[in-house]
A = this chain, B = another copy of it.
Amino acid sequence: MYIILMYDIMMDKTGAKVQRNTFKICKRYLTHIQNSVFEGNLTELNLMKLKKELSEYIRKEQDSFIIFNSRDEKWLTKEFLGKEDDKTSNFF
């Protein structure tokens, strides 16, 4: 399955900690392609593990994570306008 994950974390007093931890978790499973966006191929099992780990930090009323799931990468094309982000970005 091809996954595109994006998040919007409320930067209140605990927001920075949530962002740091969720970023690290996402980087273990997916490729960081833009500020708060990750992509990559995942098995069903790894997607479940990723969601479980993230849910320990995500705050129901403050943070928004969206996961788009395409059964196969070949059904998705990706195009850049402007600069192309370096895949090995070390945001943190």
Interface of chain A: mostly helix, strand, loop or mixed? strand
On whether the beta carbons of A6 and B67 are closer than 8 Å, the reply is: no
Bound-state Cα–Cα, A36 to B8, Å:
9
Chain B hits for A71, CB < 8 A? 75
Residue count of chain A within 8 Å CB distance of chain B: 38
On whether the beta carbons of A51 and B81 are closer than 8 Å, the reply is: yes
Chain B hits for A35, CB < 8 A? 8, 36
| Residue in contact with A6 in the complex, picked from B37, B61, B69, CB distance below 8 Å | B37
List 27 A-B residue pairs with CB atoms under 8 Å apart, sorted by A's residue number: A6-B34, A6-B37, A8-B34, A8-B35, A33-B66, A37-B37, A58-B81, A59-B82, A62-B82, A63-B82, A64-B83, A64-B85, A65-B80, A65-B81, A66-B78, A66-B80, A66-B85, A67-B78, A67-B81, A68-B76, A68-B77, A69-B77, A69-B78, A70-B75, A70-B76, A71-B75, A72-B75
